[in-house]
Amino acid sequence: MWDDLKSRGAAIAERRIETLFEDPNRARDFSVSALGMLFDYAKTNIDAETRDALIALLDARDVAGRREAMFSGTPINETEGRAVLHTALRNLDGAAVTVEGQDVMPEVLDTLERMEGFARAVRSGEYQGQGGAITDVINIGIGGSDLGPAMAAIALRPYHDGPRLHFVSNVDPADIHDTLSACDPATTLVIVASKTFTTIETMTNARTAKAWMGEVVSDTGAQFAALSTAADKTADFGIAPERVFGFADWVGGRYSMWGPIGLSLMIGIGPEAFRAFLRGGQAMDTHFRAASWQENMPAMLALVGIWHSQVLGHATRAVLPYDNRLARLPAYLQQLEMESNGKRVSMDGEDLGFESGPVVWGEPGTNGQHAFYQLIHQGTRVVPCEFLVAAEGHEEGLEHQHRLLIANCLAQSEALMKGRDFDEARSKVAGKFEGAELERQAKHRVFPGNRPSTTLAYPKLDPETLGKIIALYEHRVFVEGVVLGINSYDQWGVELGKELATALQPIVDGERSADDKDGSTAQLVGFLRANGA
């Protein structure tokens, strides 16, 4: 099947995408409408036969069977022997989900209710700091314990009516210092997000925050909450059990903001809006399980990605939200996709015979248009683009400006597809130059075009819609991982650097020599210590 797809890719290499629109039904037939959203992949070089060949991959790899195994609690994370059940965190209707013979839903829903009770107490002022009602909430985490809620807090700012939210992740002291300097310790709640309560970056920042708070607050533990399963360690830190919210090992960090990791977001937007966010994710789960492949939004998003990355060999993809409040979505998806599918061996431990996940990057439009779009339009590498845009913004009285935003989004995908040939470029400057200089100037204005893009359009970025979008990309990662035959749910690639950092710490501190290190590392340690480290 891969050979067939590679042959198809080679055969259409010179075909212009815009010629596919000679079929008047092209746009309708190469898009998916579901849950009030429209996913348009018509501006790609996928034709009906290619789509059939791509869909055949789903059946050959038994994606449907693997999908049901995931939802039912089978340990599909085979290298760690764990189920993959972030979907259970948004299973608000409480249908049984069994792990090792036990229904996990009663505990999931109980934890959600506990979170809601605490969030309401913080928002109402019933729960207070030493100086009165909580004005600021600092979430200290890293990776999935930070990227998800931090991204969502920005995305849902129009729905934010609770205390100010702050997010600290980097062990660089500048991050925690600058955040603490903007808060009053007497009215600040600190949430420490670490499943094991041992994550070195998170716990270092947590201890710094505790020392800062202790300069003013007599009982610092009373103004801390923990998102952790390590009850003994949270107790040692001084956090009472009623402010500790745990989650099972079948929730991976980058899939975790649907549960306790989303506590800061819940405090900011309120339990009702947070439940709407969960409902959106649950709706996408239902769609993913029920829709036929051609009408299945996550499946088709995944197949487009596989076509561009594994078949055509495009090494990156750009995520370009024309929605400023999704400014952190590309960073969130970098972790979701690259930590999940950035693997080099298959499930059976054999080397992959093809490239795995692409490099994911991006920025919101229209900012990117005045930055890296130059490379996208005229560079030598093809970068498949994924646009996102809302029909409606939140800013009353500025509807005309939002329509300008939409026009820019649609124009970019059209320009990527159509380009500008030499004759048109030449006519643009014919009155300004002549002879050889005219030819030279025209060449600089040629856009090759034929560059693929997709667009996800939705009515308005509200909590439910955000839930749909995040779940859409989660399931996209799942489908791509199954088709590629890799485990999307472990992340051994983050371990080696952590181990070496632990070993280097006493060398940087001057407690050990760097004699056993390579010359480059030893030289760098020497330079940094000589200059104040």
pLDDT at 1: 81
Q: Quick one: average pLDDT of 506-533?
A: 94
Residues 193-218 have pLDDT tens digits of: 999 999 999 999 999 999 999 999 99
As a whole-number percent, the residues of the chain with pLDDT over 70 amount to 100
> How many angstroms separate the CA atoms of 206 and 223, rounded?
12
HSE-CB for 182 with a 13 A CA cutoff: 13
Q: pLDDT band for 498, please (50, 70, 90 cuts).
A: confident
Residues 419-470 have pLDDT tens digits of: 999 999 999 999 999 999 999 999 999 999 999 999 999 999 999 999 999 9
For every residue of 333-389, DSSP letters joined together read HIIIIIIHH--SB-TTSPBPSS--SPEEE---TTGGGGTTHHHHHHSSS---EEEEE
> How many angstroms separate the CA atoms of 331 and 339, rounded?
12
Range list of β-strands (E), 211-293:
224-227
Residues 242-262 have pLDDT tens digits of: 999 999 999 999 999 999 999
- Which residues are identified as catalytic? 339, 370, 498
Please answer whether residues 257 and 149 qualify as being in contact, where contact means their C-beta atoms are separated by less than 8 angstroms. yes
Please answer whether residues 13 and 6 qualify as being in contact, where contact means their C-beta atoms are separated by less than 8 angstroms. no
> How many angstroms separate the CA atoms of 126 and 133, rounded?
8
Q: Average model confidence (pLDDT) for the chain? A: 96
Give yes or no for residue 530 having a pLDDT over 90: yes
Residues 264-295 have pLDDT tens digits of: 999 999 999 999 999 999 999 999 999 999 99
Residues 341-388 have pLDDT tens digits of: 999 999 999 999 888 999 999 999 999 999 999 999 999 999 999 999
Joined tokens for residue 528: 């940094």
Residues 516-528 have pLDDT tens digits of: 999 999 999 999 9
Give yes or no for residue 237 having a pLDDT over 90: yes
Q: Record the pTM.
A: 0.96
